[in-house]
Amino acid sequence: MDGGAGAEAYPRQPEELTAGWLTERLRASGALPEGRVAGFGSEPLHPERGMTGVLVRLRLTYDGAAPGAPATLVAKFSSPDPYVRALVHSLGYVEREVRFYRELAADTPVRTPRCHAAAVDLADGAAVLLLEDLAPADHGDWLDGATVADLRLVLDAIAAVHVAWWEDPRIAAEDWLELRGPLSVPHLHDLVDATWPTFLARLSVPVTAEIEQAGALLSEHLEAVAGYLLLTPPRTLVHQDLDGPNLFFPEADGDRSVAVIDWQAATRGRPAVDVAWLLAGSCVPEQRRAAERELLRGYHRRLVALGTTGYPFERLWDDYRLALLLPAARLAGAVGVQVGPRGGFWDVVFPRYAQAIADLEVGALLAAGDWGPSAAC
C-alpha cells in the first residue's frame, strides 16, 4: 500500500529525502498552499531508542510565501538493518502505524502528530511517516517516572480513546490490528520462554525474587492471560506501548495537554492493558503504590462519565493486575531487537513491572481462578 504518498516512489531512508517530495507532501496535506520547500537540514532523533526504525528531525526553508508552513517536521523510517526491518515488518508494526494514521487517527479523540505522508511497501516493510514535530513540548521520561498530575492527564485522554472505540465493529473488522507472529496470543508464551534466559543475562540489575516470580507466572499463565485480555470483550483500541517517551505534553495558554505517538503496537484489547502499561512502567514503585488505586478510580469515573456501562471498577482492578504480565512479556520477548549497552531501559522498567506483579499479588489472583471469561463482564 502506498499509504497516501501517491503512486510515485517515496524515500525509504533519510538520505533519499528531497525538497521536491517534501513540497508535494505538504501541498497534498494542506500545510503548504503556496510556496515550496527550498531546502532542509536533518538531525537524528533518539538513536538510543531506535529498536524498530530511524527518526530524524527536518528543519525546512521555503522559497516564496509559505504562511503557516511548518518550520520543522519529524520523518520516521524503517530500520536500515535488513534483519530488524524484516522482523518488525513480520510483526505488522509498520503497516499498523501507517494504517492507524490513514484510517483511525481522525476518529481517535487524543492528539496525535499531524501526518503529512504515510507509506509502506508491504513486500519488504520499507516505510516512511512524515509527521508534525511536537517540540518543544515536554515528553515523558521512563527513568525518573511521571508525575501524578501527568498520569491523570494521560488516563483521562486514553479513557476517551477507549470509549470512542469500545466494542466498535469498525476495528473488529480490521485484520491489520491483529497481533502477528510470535506476539500473537498462541505464540507469545513460547517466545517468552525461549528468550527468558537471554533476557536475564542482558539485565544489569540483580535478579530479585520478584523478577523470578514474574518469570514463573509468565511461563505458567501467559497464554491464558493474554487470550483473556486481548481476545475477550469488552475490547477497544489499545495503544499497547503507553510509556514516557511516547507521551508529549504540549502547553498553550497555561493549559497542559497530552499527545500520543508511536502506534506500531496498537491492537484490540481490554482497556486495562493500557492502564497497566502506563502506571506500572512510568512510576517508581513507591509512587505507584501510593497513587495507583486513586488513579484507577479516576480513570473508571471517566469511562462511566463518557457513557461506558457494564464494566465495574472491581473488574477493571483485577484486569489491571492481570495486564501487568503483558508489558513484562513484551520486554522479555523483545530481547532480540534491543539495542544499546547493558543497563538499558529494560533494566529500569522490567523490575517495576515485576515489583507491581508482586505487590498486587497477581500470583494469588491467578491461583484463585476468579478471573477470565467466566468472571468477565
pLDDT digits (tens, 9 = 90+) for 218-232: 999 999 999 999 999
The 8-class DSSP code of residue 108 comes to S
pLDDT at 121: 94
pLDDT at 51: 64
Nearest to 52, CA basis, from 268, 336, 328? 336
pLDDT at 48: 52
pLDDT at 139: 81
The pLDDT of residue 4 is above 70: no
Rounded Cα distance, 85 and 82, in Å: 5
Distance of CA 135 to the CA centre of its chain: 19
Residue whose C-alpha cell is 511517516: 129
Of 43-52, 73-82, 256-265, 266-275, least confident by mean pLDDT is 43-52
pLDDT at 8: 54
Q: How wide is the angle at C-alpha 345 spanned by C-alphas 343 and 348, nearest 5°?
A: 85
Question: Domains plus CATH for the chain?
Answer: 14-132 (3.30.200.20), 138-368 (3.90.1200.10)
Q: CB-hemisphere CA count at 13 Å for 109?
A: 13
The pLDDT of residue 338 is above 60: no
Q: Which residues contact 27 (CB under 8 A, 6 or more apart)?
A: 33
Q: How confident is the model at residue 344 (pLDDT cuts 50, 70, 90)?
A: low
Average pLDDT, the chain: 91
What value does the mean pLDDT take over residues 268-284? 96
Rounded Cα distance, 55 and 352, in Å: 27
Rounded Cα distance, 362 and 318, in Å: 9
Q: What are phi and psi of 228, to 5 degrees?
A: -65, -50
Q: How confident is the model at residue 3 (pLDDT cuts 50, 70, 90)?
A: very low
Its sign, for the CA torsion 202, 204, 209, 214, is negative
Contact 217, 357 (CB under 8 A): yes
Give residue-wise pLDDT tens across range 77-100: 999 988 889 989 999 999 999 999
Q: What pTM did the predictor assign?
A: 0.93
Long-range contacts of 67-71 (CB under 8 A, 24+ apart): 67/34, 68/31, 69/26, 69/31, 69/32, 69/35, 70/26, 70/31, 70/132, 70/133
The answer to whether the peptide bond before residue 234 is cis (omega within 30 degrees of 0) is yes
The 8-class DSSP code of residue 111 comes to B
